[in-house]
Homo-oligomer: A and B are copies of this chain.
Amino acid sequence: MPGQTEAAGVAALFFDVFGTLVDWRTSIAREAESILTPLGYRLDWLAFADFWRAEYQPGMEEVRSGRIPFARLDVLHRRNLERFIPRLGLTGLSDAVLHDLTMAWHRLDAWPDVPAALARLKRKFIIAPCSNGNIALMVDLARRNALPWDAILGAEIAGDYKPKPRAYLGSCEALNLAPGRCMMVAAHSNDLKAAAACGLRTAHTARVNEYGPNTGEAAPTVPVDYAAADLAALADKLGC
């Protein structure tokens, strides 16, 4: 495990959000249930969340590949929703219901250790999401969960989606910081691998229950500067 010197020169921490900081799966299941149950639907709500999330990477790939111009994640979430719901027998939902479902992504709950750990990390570092979520979505999650961001960075300000280099480098540039002075924090090795390739430092925080009990990465599968059991443990390691 690296010592504290690894963090020398790091001025900003960038955070992945979905999965790393917020529990999208049980939150989406809860929101979908509360919207669709009154309309008479009885579904496996966790499966509903998983179906939606399964459209996430393919939806962004349309942008990353250049097949469609950059569109905010709210727009992609709506498009992805309409793509998978017929397979669950959900047809004829009104525009208002589809919109309400789409906005469920603005109502996700943080993992319990996150708000206090971010407040600790903020004392020493500039902290910002470097997420594929759009600014409005990040603002709503922050207000709901008391995430004390210094700025909202990531895909929308960069105009492209992770793991494309532009998403990371645009976030560094917005802070006038060289990539080596920024550290990406995520529960997903592919995110950290891409950030490291851009010159950022990296920290892995385990979220073993992201897709259900013991489904997440307990440890990184790529070299990282730090690996921690959760965000509070990372704050310990960084001396915050």
Contacts and interface: CB of A to CB of B under 8 A. Distances in A.
Interface in A124-177: 126, 134-136, 138-139, 142-143, 148-153, 156-157, 174-177
> So how many copies of this chain end up in the complex?
2
A55 interface: no
Given A136-B174, A136-B175, A175-B139, A151 B150 contact: no
A52 to B, nearest CB: 19
A135 B148 CA distance: 16
11 contacts: A126-B143, A134-B176, A135-B157, A135-B174, A135-B175, A136-B174, A143-B150, A148-B148, A149-B149, A152-B152, A156-B174
A151 B138 contact: yes
Interface residues of A, number: 21
A217 interface: no
- Ranked nearest first, the 5 interchain pairs of A and B with the lowest CB-CB distance are A136-B176, A151-B152, A135-B174, A139-B150, A136-B175
Nearest to A148: B148
A135 B158 CA distance: 13
Interface string A95-119: 0000000000000000000000000
A185 B150 CA distance: 20
